[in-house]
C-alpha cells in the first residue's frame, strides 16, 4: 500500500542534473545529489552512463561533494570539482581507470573547469582579493573580531555573506605541470568563461563599467592569451552570460538582454559575427525567455547549458522557459527559432550527441522527480534511462495537479494548477491553500514540488498560479507587475481562489490559507493586510517594509527602483504605500513568520519589524528564526532545517484550517 508523503521524505529524493556527452558519444557524465544520512548536508557524485551497455556507474565515492564534470577534448579524461580537503579543487580521472588526480595546488578554491581545445590546459575560477596570490602557501585566516572596512555597495551577497573584497578571477592551469596563471585582476566577478575554438583567447562575462556599483551590467569580453588584451563585444548596457563558439570560430552565441525592462526583460539569444564585427539579437520578436526560470524545491545543483552549436555552424540549441514548462529551442544564425522539445516537464539541463541525432536531458514532471532521458531528435521520443527516484514514486501517493486557466479582472489569462488532497473522497469538503512564488520573475511549472505534495498529504487542496510578473508568458506579462506590487498581481491570485472555489465543489471557502516566500512572502503579507478571507497564513523570507529594504538588502538599492519605480529619497511616501507593514493594523489572520537569520536578500529585520508591530497590537502571530539560513533555505538550505520548515508550514495550517 502506498504511503502519504511527509516532510521527512525529502531525504529520499535524488536530484539528477548536468548531463554531458563524451566527445565520442559513448558515455554521459552527470551529477547525482541527495541529502546525507545525518541530514546535515548533501552528497553529490559524478555518475557515468554507458550508452552501449545502458548502465550507470559511480565514478566518485565517499562523503566529499563532486560536481561540474567536463570531458577532455579527446574524451580520455574527465575533470570535475571536489572538496577533498579544506578547499574545493579540480581533479581529473582517466577514463581507462586509476585514482583522481588533483591538477593544481593552491589554498584557494578552484571551480568551474573548462578544457582548452588541445587538452593541455584548463581555465577555471578562483575567488581572490587584490592582496591574495594563488602562490600563497596557505590562505589567511579571517579574524572574526577584526573590524570590517566597507567602501563598496556590493560588500555582501546572499548565500555568501560579507564578500571582503573577493572577486571571481580567471585562472589558467597547465595540465602537465599544474602551474597556475591568474588571467584577470579587475575588482569584479568574471564568469561564463570558455575558450575560442583555436584556443588563442577566452571569452567571459564581467562588469568593467566605470561605475560598476550603480551601472549594473555584465558584458561579453574576449581575452587574448598572447598579449592579454581584453576586447568588449557587447554595448555596456545589458546583462549577458552563457557564451559558446561556433565550431569554425566565426560566431559567438550567448544569452542576455539590454535591460529595456530592467530585470523583467526577457533573456534573448544573441550572436557576435567576428567576420563582420556585428552584434545581433536573434530572438527579438519571440515572446520566450531563454533561461530556466522555474521555481522548485527538489532539483539541487542544476546547471543550465551554454548554447550548443550544430556541426554545420548554422545554429544552436538553448534552454527556454515557455508556458509553465522548460523547452529546448533551436535558433538559426538567420534568427529562425522553434522548439524541438516542448512537453509538460521541467528540463533543467541537456547535452547534444556528437552526431546530433540524440540528446540527453535531465527532466522532472509533476509526478516524477528529476531523471535522465534519452531524446531521439528525429522521432521526438524520450526514454527514461535512470531510475533513481523510482522506489520513491512507487511507494508514495503523488497527486498529479490539474491545469487551470481563467481570466483575471482585466481579461488577462492566468495559468496555473490545482492539487487535490491526497486522500480525496467524493462528498467531503477540504481546506484550500494558495501558494505564491517568489521572484517575482519566476514561474511555477509542470514539475514535482515536494512542499505541495506534503500539504496535499495533510488533507489540503493547493492552488498555485503564475500571476502577472511571472516568466513564461511574454514580455508584457512579466513586466506587468513592475510599479504595481499589490495591484494587478493581487487581483490575479485572489481571482485564482475565486475560480477554483467556483469550479470545485469539494473546496471549503471558510477554510482558506495562503503562503509564499520572498516576493511570495511580500504577497502573503500584503494579502492578509487587505482581506480577512484567509484563516491562516505563513509568510517566508518576506518583505514587509520597502523603506528599510532599500538599505539592508544586498540588492535593495537598485531592485527597489527597478521593481517599484520609486527612489527612497525622492518618493519615500510611495515606498511606504507599497509596504505591507503600513497595513499591519488590518491583519486579523493568524500569521506564522519564517525567516533565515543570514538572509541578505530579504534580511531578517523585515520579519522582525512585522512581528513586533503585530505583537504590540496583540495579533495572533508567531516568529520562527532559522540560524545561519540564507534566502535559499527552502531549496538548498540545511536539510534538517528544510524538513522543520515544511513541518512548521503544514502544522500551522493544520492548527487553523
Residues carrying an active site annotation = 518, 631
What are the C-alpha distances in Å from 269 to residues 80, 242, 284, 471? 28, 10, 8, 16
Strands 55-58 and 42-50: antiparallel
Q: Which residues contact 434 (CB under 8 A, 6 or more apart)?
A: 463, 464, 493, 496, 497, 512, 513, 514, 515, 534
- Per-position DSSP letters for 281-295, written without gaps between them: ES-TT---BSS--B-
Cα separation of 72 and 93, whole Å?
10
Asked if 351 and 450 count as a contact pair (C-beta separation under 8 A), the reply is no
How many CB atoms neighbour CB 483 within 10 A? Answer: 14
Cell of 420: 487535490
End-to-end CA distance of the chain: 28
Cell of 501: 472555489
Strands 461-466 and 430-436: parallel
Cell of 575: 515606498
Name the residue among 25, 8, 6 with its Cα closest to residue 352: 25
Cell of 435: 501558494
Name the residue among 528, 558, 546, 551 with its Cα closest to residue 621: 528
Cα separation of 469 and 440, whole Å?
6
The helix (H) or strand (E) run that includes residue 167 is strand 167-174
**ω into 440 cis (within 30 of 0):** yes
Amino acid at each position: 500500500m502506498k504511503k502519504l508523503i511527509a516532510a521527512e521524505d525529502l531525504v529520499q529524493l535524488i536530484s539528477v542534473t548536468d548531463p554531458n556527452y563524451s566527445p565520442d558519444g559513448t558515455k554521459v557524465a552527470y551529477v547525482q545529489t541527495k541529502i546525507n544520512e545525518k541530514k546535515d548536508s548533501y552528497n553529490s557524485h559524478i555518475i557515468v552512463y554507458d550508452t552501449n551497455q545502458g548502465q550507470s556507474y559511480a565514478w566518485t565515492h565517499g562523503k566529499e561533494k563532486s560536481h561540474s564534470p567536463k570531458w577532455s577534448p579527446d574524451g580520455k579524461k574527465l575533470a570535475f570539482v571536489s572538496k577533498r580537503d579544506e578547499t574545493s579543487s579540480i581533479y581529473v580521472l582517466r577514463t581507462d581507470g586509476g585514482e583522481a588526480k588533483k591538477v593544481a595546488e593552491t589554498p584557494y578554491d578552484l571551480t568551474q573547469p573548462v578544457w582548452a581545445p588541445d587538452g593541455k590546459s584548463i581555465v577555471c575560477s578562483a575567488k581572490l582579493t587584490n592582496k591574495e596570490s594563488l602562490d600563497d602557501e596557505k590562505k589567511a585566516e579571517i579574524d572574526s573580531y577584526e573590524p570590517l572596512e566597507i567602501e563598496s555597495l556590493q560588500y555582501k551577497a546572499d548565500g555568501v555573506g560579507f564578500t571582503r573584497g573577493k572577486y571571481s578571477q580567471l585562472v589558467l592551469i597547465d595540465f602537465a605541470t599544474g602551474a597556475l596563471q591568474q588571467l584577470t585582476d579587475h575588482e569584479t566577478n568574471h564568469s561564463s568563461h570558455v575558450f575560442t575554438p583555436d584556443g588563442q583567447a577566452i571569452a567571459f562575462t564581467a562588469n568593467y563599467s566605470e561605475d560598476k556599483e550603480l551601472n549594473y551590467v555584465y558584458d561579453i569580453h574576449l581575452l587574448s592569451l598572447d598579449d592579454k588584451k581584453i576586447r568588449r563585444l557587447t554595448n555596456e548596457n545589458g546583462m549577458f552570460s552563457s557564451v559558446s563558439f561556433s565550431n569554425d570560430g566565426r560566431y559567438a552565441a550567448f544569452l542576455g538582454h539590454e535591460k529595456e525592462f530592467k530585470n523583467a526583460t526577457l533573456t534573448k539569444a544573441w550572436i557576435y559575427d567576428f567576420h563582420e564585427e556585428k552584434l545581433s539579437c536573434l530572438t527579438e520578436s519571440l515572446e520566450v525567455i531563454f533561461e530556466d526560470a522555474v521555481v522548485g524545491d527538489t532539483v539541487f545543483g542544476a546547471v543550465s547549458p551554454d548554447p550548443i552549436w550544430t556541426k554545420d555552424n548554422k545554429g544552436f540549441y538553448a534552454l527556454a522557459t515557455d508556458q509553465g514548462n522548460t523547452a529546448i529551442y533551436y535558433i538559426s544564425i538567420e534568427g529562425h527559432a522553434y522548439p524541438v522539445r516542448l512537453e509538460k516537464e521541467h528540463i533543467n539541463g541537456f547535452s547534444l550527441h556528437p552526431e546530433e541525432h540524440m540528446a540527453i536531458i535531465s527532466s522532472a514532471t509533476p509526478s516524477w522527480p528529476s531523471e535522465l532521458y534519452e531524446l531521439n531528435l528525429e522521432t521526438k521520443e524520450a526514454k527514461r534511462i535512470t531510475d533513481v527516484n523510482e522506489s520513491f514514486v512507487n511507494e508514495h501517493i503523488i497527486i498529479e495537479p490539474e491545469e487551470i486557466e481563467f481570466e483575471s479582472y482585466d481579461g488577462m489569462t492566468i495559468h496555473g494548477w490545482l492539487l487535490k488532497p491526497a486522500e480525496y473522497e467524493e462528498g467531503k469538503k477540504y481546506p484550500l491553500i494558495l501558494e505564491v512564488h517568489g521572484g517575482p520573475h519566476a514561474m511555477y511549472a509542470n514539475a514535482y514540488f515536494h512542499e505541495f505534495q506534503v500539504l496535499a498529504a495533510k488533507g489540503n487542496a493547493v492552488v498555485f498560479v503564475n500571476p502577472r510578473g511571472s516568466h513564461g508568458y511574454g514580455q508584457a506579462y512579466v513586466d506587468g507587475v513592475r510599479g504595481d506590487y499589490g495591484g494587478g498581481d493581487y487581483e490575479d491570485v485572489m481571482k485564482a481562489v475565486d475560480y477554483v472555489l467556483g469550479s470545485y465543489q469539494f473546496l471549503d471557502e471558510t477554510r482558506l490559507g495562503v503562503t509564499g516566500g520572498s516576493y511570495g512572502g511580500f504577497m502573503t503579507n500584503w494579502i492578509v493586510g487587505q482581506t480577512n478571507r484567509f484563516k491562516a497564513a505563513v509568510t517566508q523570507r518576506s518583505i514587509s517594509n520597502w523603506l528599510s529594504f532599500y538599505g539592508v538588502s544586498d540588492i535593495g538599492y537598485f531592485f527597489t527602483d527597478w521593481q517599484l519605480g520609486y527612489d527612497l529619497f525622492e518618493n519615500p511616501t510611495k515606498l511606504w504605500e507599497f509596504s505591507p507593514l503600513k497595513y499591519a493594523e488590518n491583519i486579523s489572520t493568524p500569521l506564522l513568520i519564517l525567516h533565515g537569520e543570514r538572509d541578505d536578500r530579504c534580511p531578517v529585520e523585515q520579519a522582525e519589524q512585522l512581528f513586533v508591530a503585530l505583537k504590540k497590537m496583540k495579533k495572533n502571530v508567531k516568529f520562527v528564526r532559522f540560524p545561519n539560513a540564507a534566502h535559499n533555505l527552502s531549496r538548498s538550505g540545511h536539510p534538517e532545517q528544510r524538513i522543520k520548515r515544511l513541518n512548521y508550514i503544514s502544522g500551522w495550517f493544520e492548527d487553523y484550517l
